[in-house]
Structure 1
Amino acid sequence: MRAHHLCPEFQDLRRALTSGRPYAIFNSNERMNDVCPGPVERKNNKMQFDHPPHVEALRQRLTDFMDHYILPAHGAVTRAFLDGGHPTEIIERLKARAWEAGLWNLFLPSLTDDQPGVRLSNAEYAPLAEIMGRVPWASEVFNCAAPDSGNMELLQLFGTPDQKARWLDPLLLGEIRSVFCMSEPDAPSSDPTSLATTIRRDGDDYVVEGRKWFITGTRHPHLSFAIVFGVSDPDGLAERHRRHSFVIVPIDVPGVKIVRDITLMGAHAADGHGEIVFRNVRVPAAHLIGAEGDAFAIAQARLGPGRVHHAMRSVGQCELALELMTERALERRIGGTPLADRANIREWIAESRIEIDQCRLLVMQAAWLMDTKGNAAARTAVSAIKLASARLQTRVLDRAMQVFGAAGLSPDTPLAGLWSWGRALRVLDGPDEVHLQTVAKAELKAARAAIGRNTRHFTGPAGL
């Protein structure tokens, strides 16, 4: 750097270091910014983590809606689910209120002017997903529930006009529900290329054969159709990531059978996690999404935003658990002393606070990368948040359950159910090990490109 590019004080410092004479960098009353101010004038000391005004307004409206309508209904809804039913009347009434409040389809940035909802980016929607996540069933009220949210995004991006009219439009209106069929009992989901359900062209139809399981939403009374992932190149002539396709299968066509609801950690999920058998199921060729062989590219476009939604819902559930834990610690007394006075309880509270904030920032970074660089550029960050948020949920919920004691294991609090869901997320949508491999591969690729840059300075005798 040429000398005239440096401020006078730093020029003096360089001369002093060259000559070997002593130099006091700062006087006792000086700060570095006073000695050599940077090129950007600092107008205030506030870090820019604020949400944009329109997002902050939505956050407040959503929080108010949760306080005034969702929480008062939570007891009745939970009882209905525990009894094996579905509180359809309550939820439909709340959906109508959410529509009127303008809190509808908040997650889909590609909405057109004639489609209902609010066009928000991933980073703008993320804090709203956190608020909804505090109550597991709340997302449906705002038409933001999985797997519909991902299926809506998939159809919006890749559906034909006829597919959008028949399937997407009713989804956007909250009139029907859908499922996403990928995982199979006889194939490792960590390697999607091994999934064996077939989608075979036969004249003007596709014939679907196979078995899918852990399919979220199979108990919902409004379930209308499935988006099914399968092999459309059974002879293996195409490249391994071009052998699979997606088709839309109405749930009431001959050959589709939901054979059971699979419990998670011994408990039934509110809308179910079913096993579905497809036996000689025929659907028109027009039900193919995209082209044959496009399934992997389509799936990546769908899964990225969905993982941001899941991660922020996990953050919201951890916030709820921390609030319950701290209140319990203040109110519960042992030998006349509040639990909050015990050092280990305080450590659990502090660790939870720190870890929640860390995870939230990691998720927001991934959402920002998706918005600014695209899903492909954010792939490693999305794997990181999927892993981090699921592990966070099991840690924070475990601490909260321990503070509540036996009550934390019972249905008298939401803690056991939220812990179970966090534990399930460490397997569902790709196990921890797959996402760790993704992150590690990215780090090693970067290291190969820069090999020797650091080691020549920091290793060996010269670096000691």
Structure 2
Amino acid sequence: MFLYTDRCNDYLSQLKAFMQAEIYPREHEFRAEVEANTAAGRRWTPTQLIESLKPKAQAAGLWNLFLPESEHGAGLTNYEYAPLAEEMGKVFWASEVFNCSAPDTGNMEVLARYGTPAQQAQWLAPLLKGAIRSGFAMTEPQVASSDATNVETLIAREGGDYVINGRKWWISGAGDPRCKVYIVMGKTDPSADVHHQQSMVLVPADAQGLTVLRPLPVFGLDDAPHGHCEMRFDNVRVPAANILLGEGRGFEIAQGRLGPGRIHHCMRLIGVAERAMALMCERLLTRVAFGKPIATQSIWHERIGDLRCSIEQARLLTLKAAWMMDTVGNKVAKNEIAMIKVVAPKLACDAVDLAIQAFGAGGLSQDWPLADFYMQARALRIADGPDEVHRASIAKNELARFKTR
């Protein structure tokens, strides 16, 4: 388990070389382009930088690496993909360059696993090419959406169509003009048992009655041009053929989607923690206070030692979860997925917080990626289920082991 396969190592060496040549040297260029677009009134315009790098990544064979055992992607297992996702996570916008960014990865997995041939031809094919982007609309402002049975959006059958009414928020990518389709979760039968009330439908972004109300910044950062938005569905009508898998299957699809999605986030967060550690150590070694490098202070020795232990522990847990997903399936691996979803975001938050402390006031600025990293890591303690929900699930599974004795 502790050795990467030859295939994984080959991809990893290629990916690291690409990151060194094309990504790291251009972090400030990305920020400058976003700021220039803002000044010109085009804040939600996709960056030419990322668009120019995508053909290079595709030509290098570093494309759609996330789809396990699929004719659509590289065919890597979750275990093989983990170190690649970690490497991409070291720059918060890098995964898009390789067509490996959320929410598109999860949506492509849903379409590849549950979509009809017609749905795949219309939406999966252009997503795999990177020609469009997508959104996943589940979370709602009026209910605790970590419990998917609370979802209130209604999806009503009317003849040959479904009519959707409701409000969604924190919909990643909804501010991006390249977003052309949403996977929307709502209730088709509120009278059914709680796990068969929900369904998922494909909704084109230009559907009549669908309105993007506002962007939702995190700590004042709106993550443009990707963004997270609040949306309203007002009698949005789509063909009945747009349903995924069938009525009452939404909860089932959500569980299938969120398992891989959660672990992909965790893989990238290990990369965030590693990058924060590297930036912190470089800063401590070069910054002088009171006549000597900050790195000589014993308190930083303790912090660095503890952080290195925590990163290694989290990486091993992530790899174990990925390995179990590959060998025994997502359902059996649910406890490990839940554990790493608790561990990895907190680790990344702690690592970035320490790095910010080492940088001083500079760590709060946009001159370094630490503020963006913290926004990303802190949000992921809530996204895809808050820490409390995952801890409760872990405890429930743990207690169940002893009830049978």
Query: Which TM-score tier does this pair reach, normalised by the shorter chain?
Result: over 0.9
Secondary structure at 2:195 match in 1: helix
Partner of 1:23: none
Partner of 1:128: 84
Q: 2:348 aligns with which of 358, 374, 393?
A: 393
Partner of 1:138: 94
Partner of 2:58: 99
1:85 to partner: Cα distance: 4.5
Contact 1:77–1:87 at 8 Å: present in 2 too?
no
CA gap of 1:279–1:110, structure 2 versus 1, over 3 A, is: farther
Contact 1:215–1:275 at 8 Å: present in 2 too?
yes
> Matched residues in 2 for 1:80 and 1:229: separation?
35
Partner of 2:169: 213
1:286 to partner: Cα distance: 0.3
| Identity of matched residues, % | 48
How do 1:30-429 and structure 2 match up within 5 A? 49-82=2-35, 83=38, 84-112=43-71, 115=72, 117-234=73-190, 236=191, 238-270=192-224, 271-429=226-384
> Matched residues in 1 for 2:309 and 2:69: separation?
34
> Matched residues in 1 for 2:245 and 2:113: separation?
9
Count residues in correspondence.
Answer: 398
Larger CA Rg, structure 1 vs 2: 1
Contact 1:110–1:156 at 8 Å: present in 2 too?
no
Contact 2:184–2:202 at 8 Å: present in 1 too?
yes
1:88 to partner: Cα distance: 3.2
Residue identity in the other structure for 2:209: G
- In the superposition, the TM-score normalised over structure 1's length comes to 0.84
Contact 2:44–2:177 at 8 Å: present in 1 too?
no
> Matched residues in 1 for 2:124 and 2:221: separation?
31
Residue segments in structure 1 that go unaligned for 5+ positions in a row: 1-47, 451-464
Residue identity in the other structure for 2:195: H
1:111 to partner: Cα distance: 2.1
> Matched residues in 2 for 1:86 and 1:350: separation?
42
1:221 to partner: Cα distance: 2.4
1:269 to partner: Cα distance: 1.4
RMSD: 1.1
Contact 2:92–2:372 at 8 Å: present in 1 too?
no
CA gap of 1:251–1:85, structure 2 versus 1, over 3 A, is: closer
Q: Deviations over 1:380-439 (max 9, x none)?
A: 111111110111111111111111111111111111221122111111111110000010
1:87 to partner: Cα distance: 4.5
Contact 2:33–2:47 at 8 Å: present in 1 too?
no
> Matched residues in 2 for 1:98 and 1:419: separation?
27
> Matched residues in 1 for 2:257 and 2:69: separation?
13
1:92 to partner: Cα distance: 1.8
